Structure 1
Amino acid sequence: MSQSGAVVIVEDDMDDRIFLSQVFKEINMEREVLWFSSTSEAFEFLKTTSRYIFLIFSDIQLPAESGLEFKQKIDANPRLRRKSIPFVFYSTSASQRDVDDAYTKMTIQGFFQKLGDYDETKMLMKTVFDYWDICKHPNKQ
């Protein structure tokens, strides 16, 4: 499989960043990971970059602006919407209301609750990356 394209992750919790970094290393995920602690930083990057972004992971509960608001801004931006970058929520918060809002009020491609179990998280991340590696979509290079 091709390992082109970067992964954008919006996560403000340093422990979660360390945890995911270790998971990515163990599943041999060779893509570049671009970390952002706020949605505003991530949005500005996405608006201006010409780089191929393979996938966006975002937490829901973030300072200043939620992940839901972030995704709504992406969907409202014609240039970013046209890029069709797969967007996945990965959050401790997974209330039914958040899940319903994510799928009915915006375009997302997945919603996963953070798992405390390391092996389950490895399996989840490997599955998500393998899926998007073989999936056909407009953003694919």
Structure 2
Amino acid sequence: MSETHTLKKGPIIIIDDDQDDCDLLRHIIDNIAPRSIYRFFANGQLALDYFLQTSEQPFVIFCDINMPVMSGLELSKRISENEYLRQKSIPFIFLTTSRNPGEIRKAYELTVQGYFQKPSTVNTFEELVKSILDYWDRCLHPNSIK
């Protein structure tokens, strides 16, 4: 991708227990939006602890489904049940290898903003991530309006 820009919002949260997938996603985002800030977590519990303790306003959450300790589905559920976290209005995107219809249905019942299967090629993966970041970068956020 030749076009790059700087995201106007906070850190990008990547929750995935596969370090190679985290590294690839970071590389892709660095090509799209250099100087992005990241927070990485290997499971949902670590991410939930961060969300409950931080005053940061994350830009977007990219989350895997199947992880040890706390799954992505459980994390999404816990966020939606917590008034403080719900009011942060953080876009929650599942980015996973799972195509399980039950998991997809459950994800949307939890009102996530997207469920995407990780593409098999880097170019397709980059196009997908760019479209997601562009969309949320253009979206108005209640915490950014003064």
Please classify the TM superposition score into its range, dividing by the shorter chain length: over 0.9
1:113 counterpart residue number: 117
1:22-65, CA deviations, whole angstroms, 9 ceiling, x for partnerless residues? 21122234320110001111001001100121111110000122
In structure 2, distance between residues paired with 1:30 and 1:48: 24
1:15 Cα deviation after fit: 1.0
In structure 2, distance between residues paired with 1:97 and 1:4: 33
Q: TM-score, normalised by structure 1?
A: 0.92
2:130 counterpart residue number: 126
Highest relative contact order (Cα 8 Å, sep 6+), 1 or 2?
Answer: 1
1:88 maps to which of 93, 104, 109: 93
In structure 2, distance between residues paired with 1:41 and 1:2: 24
Unaligned runs of 5+ in 2: 1-5
| C-alpha contact 2:32 2:130 (8 A) present in aligned 1 | yes
Cα RMSD of the aligned pairs, angstroms, is 1.5
In structure 2, distance between residues paired with 1:13 and 1:73: 22
3-state SS of the aligned residue for 1:12? coil
2:20 counterpart residue number: 15
In structure 1, distance between residues paired with 2:34 and 2:103: 28
1:60 counterpart residue number: 65
Q: Say whether residues 1:48 and 2:53 are aligned partners.
A: yes
Q: Say whether residues 1:76 and 2:76 are aligned partners.
A: no
Amino acid at match of 1:6: P
1:21 Cα deviation after fit: 1.8
In structure 2, distance between residues paired with 1:15 and 1:92: 13
* Paired residue total: 140
In structure 2, distance between residues paired with 1:140 and 1:119: 32
In structure 1, distance between residues paired with 2:27 and 2:113: 24
Amino acid at match of 2:83: P
Amino acid at match of 1:98: E
| C-alpha contact 2:57 2:88 (8 A) present in aligned 1 | no
Unaligned runs of 5+ in 1: none
1:4 counterpart residue number: 9
Q: Provide the identity percentage.
A: 37
Q: TM-score, normalised by structure 2?
A: 0.89
